[in-house]
């Protein structure tokens, strides 16, 4: 069978004594893109773009730490289970950043900055400015999953299946070579949501009236895709009532974001126009 997505031949680049992990490079690139887009959108609202760069000094470390903590807590077996190695929890370059931990603690870091420094615009407008860039950063981060041969789904013979090396296949799938590239599905979904947030201002004007609504739309849109993408995955995870933990988290977060948007719409337009690209 000829597959469109073969196994990557490398996961690192060596430049002299320096080893660059491609997963880490994707994360760094995504962060840079998110800051660049956020600066432009924040400036379009009348804010000082340097606010975005400075808040990133707080938000990025908080986000990385939060993402890793969530991943380790939600999938503890490789670190604290049988034959697990707790030291691996510190090896972020090997993959494993939970988006909910990254967003939660990243937003907390940004909020701490806003509470302790003078800024030109409100915290809600900052979140609206960052939303499209953040989800594009998530898409770029999923490319890192490809290089690590992780976050793939159930076996499939579809033409766009990804070939996974034997050492990276879960228990019980050793004889199977091709799987759903769920990391690629999520990449495409994230870009689709970013497109809606940036390129459809007419749609957003009819839905997002208040500051903070675009960020809530980002959360709702992302979780809507995460439902079915997560259901395809076969990597090790904790289950509650037959569903993966991340599916339950997506359900809860999606519901909360929709309730927020409904209440915001009931309040009417109490802020300036939504962020335009």
Do residues 184 and 147 touch, judged by C-beta distance below 8 A?
A: no
Name the most confidently modeled range: 61-65, 91-95, 185-189: 185-189
Which range, of 10-24, 77-91, 186-200, 239-253, averages the lowest pLDDT? Answer: 77-91
pLDDT computed for residue 85 by the predictor = 75
Which range, of 80-89, 139-148, 172-181, 245-254, averages the lowest pLDDT? Answer: 80-89
Tens digits of residue pLDDT in 111-160: 999 999 889 999 999 999 999 999 999 999 999 999 999 999 999 999 89
Do residues 11 and 23 touch, judged by C-beta distance below 8 A?
A: yes
Strand (E) or helix (H) holding 19: strand 18-21
Confidence check: pLDDT of 268 > 90 = no
Structure-token match 């994230």, residue found? 190
Do residues 8 and 146 touch, judged by C-beta distance below 8 A?
A: yes
Residue 32 belongs to some domain of the structure:
yes
Q: What are phi and psi of 163, to 5 degrees?
A: -85, 125
Residue 74 belongs to some domain of the structure:
yes
pLDDT computed for residue 72 by the predictor = 83
Distance CA 188, CA 139 (A): 7
Residue 227 belongs to some domain of the structure:
no
Query: For residue 210, how many other CB atoms are within 10 A of its CB?
Result: 21
Residue 130 belongs to some domain of the structure:
yes
Q: Which residues contact 259 (CB under 8 A, 6 or more apart)?
A: none
Average pLDDT over residues 238-254: 91
Average pLDDT over residues 239-248: 90
Residue 163 belongs to some domain of the structure:
yes
Confidence check: pLDDT of 274 > 50 = no
Confidence check: pLDDT of 276 > 60 = no
pLDDT computed for residue 121 by the predictor = 92
Choose between 47 and 80: higher pLDDT. Answer: 47
Confidence check: pLDDT of 86 > 90 = no
Beta bridge partners of 240: 243
Average pLDDT, the chain: 87
pTM of structure:
0.88
> Which residue segment(s) compose the domain that 55 sits in?
12-202
How many residues belong to the chain?
Answer: 277
Residue 241 belongs to some domain of the structure:
no
Coil, strand or helix at 274:
coil
pLDDT computed for residue 209 by the predictor = 67
Residue 210 belongs to some domain of the structure:
no
Average pLDDT over residues 71-92: 76
Confidence check: pLDDT of 7 > 80 = yes
Domain tally, the chain: 1
Residue 250 belongs to some domain of the structure:
no
Confidence check: pLDDT of 245 > 80 = yes
């Amino acid at each position: 069978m000829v597959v469109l997505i073969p196994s990557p031949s490398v996961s690192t680049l060596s430049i002299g004594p320096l080893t660059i992990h491609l997963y880490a490079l994707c994360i760094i690139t995504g962060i840079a893109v998110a800051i660049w887009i956020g600066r432009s959108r924040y400036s379009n609202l009348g804010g000082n773009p340097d606010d975005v760069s400075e808040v990133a000094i707080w938000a990025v470390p908080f986000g990385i730490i939060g993402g890793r903590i969530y991943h380790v807590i939600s999938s503890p077996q490789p670190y604290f289970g049988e034959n697990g190695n707790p030291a691996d929890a510190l090896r972020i370059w090997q993959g494993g950043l939970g988006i909910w931990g990254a967003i939660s603690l990243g937003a907390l870091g940004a909020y701490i900055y806003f509470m302790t420094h003078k800024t030109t615009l409100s915290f809600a407008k900052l979140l609206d400015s960052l939303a499209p860039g953040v989800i594009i950063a998530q898409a770029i981060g999923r490319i890192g999953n490809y290089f690590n041969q992780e976050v793939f789904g159930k076996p499939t013979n579809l033409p766009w299946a990804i070939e996974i090396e034997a050492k990276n296949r879960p228990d019980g799938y050793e004889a199977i070579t091709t799987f759903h590239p769920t990391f690629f599905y999520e990449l495409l979904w994230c870009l689709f949501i970013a497109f809606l947030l940036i390129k459809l201002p007419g749609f957003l004007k009819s839905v997002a009236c208040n500051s903070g609504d675009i960020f809530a739309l980002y959360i709702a849109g992302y979780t809507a895709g995460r439902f079915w993408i997560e259901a395809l995955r076969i990597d090790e995870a904790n289950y509650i009532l037959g569903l993966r933990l991340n599916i339950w988290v997506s359900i809860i977060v999606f519901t909360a974001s929709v309730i927020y948007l409904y209440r915001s719409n009931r309040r009417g337009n109490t802020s300036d126009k939504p962020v335009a690209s």
